[in-house]
Amino acid sequence: MFLVNYSSSSEDEDEEEEPRPGVRVDVGAAAAACSEEVKSQRLPIPESVMGMFSQSEEHLDDSSNHDGRIRSFLHQRGNWSTLVYVEYYPEEEFVELIDLLLTHLQAHKLPMTRVTEFHVSLSQTVVLRHHWISIFVESLKEKMTFFDRFYCLSDKVKIYTNEEKTRTFLGLEVSAGSNYLLELLKEVDKSMEEFNLKTYHKSPSFHISVAWCLGDLTAELEKHQHELQVPAVGAPEVGSGKGPQLLEGQCGRRYDTEKNRISVEDMVDKFENSARILQHYADQVRCKTGNKVFSFSLR
């Protein structure tokens, strides 16, 4: 067997001179000299570039940019706020009803802000890593395939707060169709568990949030919900001498301003066509993660 040594054509030129026998080589001194030579050859870094790394990158969340709302979790690069829900597409009369409720509360120094998008949540807001999104969405899609479309009715006024008690919500609780929502929820929870994410509340109260305010105002709002009786919005004030009036554009009944007074719940019950406008058709489940929205059609 022959051992063949291959070398490049420039071997003679590149070959370093080997130390002669009996001559000591100071390896440390040679390395130091080489290092000094490299340093002397380095180009200076522009100040503008050095300034980019003067401090670690940090996202400062200013609540004033979000109407005073505070994040439930800190913003971090690669983390995507995620929510699974059934969307509700309101008719114009639905918005009129919400404005009627808010006017009622405003009159008693309880201002609330109407939400811009209406939905029934099927999950808590969770943090999803960016590289999980496609797998998580595929998991939901697979589980939603076998569900049929259904109707819901949200007609029960109820007060809610977030977990941190930093915001209070006026909601319309689902009174019909909650059993179908519960079946959907069970499958959504399974997807959450696959990624070690927080599942939904153990005893869920499915609802549409229609307005919100800062702080925990549960006691004040419940007082107006159940106890405080006030003249209907649009009805004349007590003692105005105008007699019975029709609450125009709201419902086809007359109000005796000294005898017939309505609460927030009454406003919903007596609103014209309330049974129709508070009914919504669940034909798809949606998942919003960051600025992306994924839709899963029901059968």
Tokens of 46: 């522009």
Cα angle 36-40-45, degrees, rounded to a multiple of 5: 125
The answer to whether 207 is a known catalytic residue is: yes
- Name the active-site residue from 130, 131, 207, 224: 207
Encode the chain in three state secondary structure: CCCCCCCCCCHHHHCCCCCCCCCCCCHHHHHHHHHHHHHHHCCCCCHHHHHCCCCCCCCCCCHHHHCCCCCCCCCCCCEEEEEEEEEECCCHHHHHHHHHHHHHHHCCCCCCEECCCEEEECCCCEEEEHHHHHHHHHHHHHHHCCCCCEEEEEEEEEEEECCCCCEEEEEEEEEECHHHHHHHHHHHHHHHHHCCCCCCCCCCCCEEEEEEEECCCHHHHHHHHHHCCECCCCCCCCCCCCCCEECCCCCCCEECCCCCCECHHHHHHHCCCHHHHCEEEECEEEEEECCEEEEEECC
Catalytic residue among 104, 119, 224, 280: 119
Clarify whether 104 is annotated catalytic.
no
What positions carry a catalytic annotation?
119, 207
